[in-house]
Amino acid sequence: MAEEHSPFYKYKKLFNNSMENKDESQKELCTGIIKSNEGFDKIYNEDDFYKVCPVSLYYLDDLYKNSYNFMDEGCKYLYYGIYNNILKKENYSYDKLEFYKILLEGYYNINEWDSYESYIKEINKDILENNNDLMEMYDNLDNFKENKSQNKDDQCKYVNKCIEIYTKYAKNYKTNNDLFYADLNEFIE
pLDDT in tens, 84-141: 888 888 877 788 898 899 999 999 998 888 889 999 999 999 889 888 998 998 898 8
**What are residue 127's phi and psi, to 5 degrees?**
-60, -45
pLDDT in tens, 36-89: 887 676 667 778 888 899 999 999 999 998 876 788 889 999 999 999 888 888
Given its phi and psi angles, is residue 30 left (phi above 0), alpha (psi -120 to 50 degrees) or beta? alpha
Quote the pLDDT of residue 112: 83
The answer to whether residue 182 scores a pLDDT higher than 70 is: no
Classify residue 176 by its DSSP letter: -
C-beta pairs of 105-110 under 8 Å, 24+ apart in sequence: 105/33, 106/29, 106/30, 106/32, 106/33, 106/36, 106/53, 106/57, 107/56, 107/57, 107/60, 107/61, 109/33, 109/36, 110/29, 110/57
- Tell me the CB-side half-sphere exposure of residue 38, using CA atoms within 13 A: 0
Quote the pLDDT of residue 75: 93
8 Å CB contact between 158 and 140: yes
Residue 157 CA, chain-centre distance (Å), reads 22
Burial 25-39 (b: 16+ CB within 10 A, else e): ebeeebeebbeebee
Domains in the chain: boundaries: 2-122, 125-188
What stretch of H or E contains 100? helix 96-110
The answer to whether residue 164 scores a pLDDT higher than 50 is: yes
Dihedral angle sign, alpha carbons of residues 100, 105, 108, 114 = positive
- Exposure of 112 by Cβ count < 10 A (0-12 exposed, 13-18 middle, 19+ buried)? exposed
